[in-house]
Structure 1
Amino acid sequence: MNAAQWVKMLDLAPHPEGGYFRRTSTSGRTFRRDDGATRPLMTAIYYLLTADRPLGKLHRNQSDIIHFFHSGDPIVYWLLFPDGRLERHLLGPDPLVGHRLQLTVPGGIWKASVLEAGDHGLISEAVAPGFDPVDREMADAGLIERLFPAHWPQLSYLVGRGGS
């Protein structure tokens, strides 16, 4: 299947970070955070990066997220930790060449995803506690450049400044 077929079959819509998505599950059970906010115990989505929407922009979530690879071409994940460590992971179909079938990103870690080649990469994400848009922070170019100057040349295009 190609990207357009996945978008139609799974009824995906454009995602604010880039790519396409659809929420597939929301737990009926809830979790009360230390700040009093209530979230579902878990949520899940399909997430698709395509040749025309290849970038999931740099952002961080308060919740932990597990990414599960399903189909298509490998997706590069960039993880930026508070201590300045930058990691690159490849989510894809072939563990024999170093692809990962799943990747866990702890809450509070900056992350971005990129389809560097090919037609599409399809994954699912499980978020616990469940996702709420107020728990997501999109990266500010000035802040990332100031806090992580050594990584800025690699990261600039992931926040929408200095590249595509």
Structure 2
Amino acid sequence: MSGKRGATRLGFAVLLKFYTQFGRFPRNRTELPGEAVEFVARQVQVPALELESYDWTGRTVEYHRAQIREHLGFRECSVADAEKLTAYLAEHVAHKERRPEQDRVELLARCRTESIEPPTSGRCDRIVGAALRKAEETLTALISSRLTLESVERIVALVAGADKDDPDVMT
């Protein structure tokens, strides 16, 4: 906080407070409750109205985010992190929990445990989707490996017979 004044000081303080409370950064000013901004403004001795001149899209906010991540011991989610998170979800969560919204909760909890800044909403959706697909593929492979040759032949014959009787049955 040293060396920061006015809107920059308040913006930094609000980002820090929001991150420590919610485990992520606010997407924009509208996510910040007015009472919380007033409270933080009093703490840092900057008028709350100063926040209106804080630039939420420029280099300053990116620098502030980097400083906060470093201070709190977090890092941005890398491609390698996303792959590890996908594998973790597929192995430990998605094989028993098929609801994407619950898998997303587990993903965010895992990010916090691993000190990873949560990915964007769209990236979270892709990680969860990939984990669900991977868990399904693993389960399918497990079931398939347990089928006898006779069972496989009977399933193939059943599907082939259904196609001959009614071509629309499988569509």
Quick check: TM above 0.5?
A: no
TM-score range, shorter chain: under 0.3
* Higher-strand-fraction structure: 1
Please give the TM-score of this superposition, normalised by the length of structure 1.
0.23
Please give the TM-score of this superposition, normalised by the length of structure 2.
0.22
Which is bigger in relative contact order (C-alpha 8 A, separation at least 6)? Answer: 1
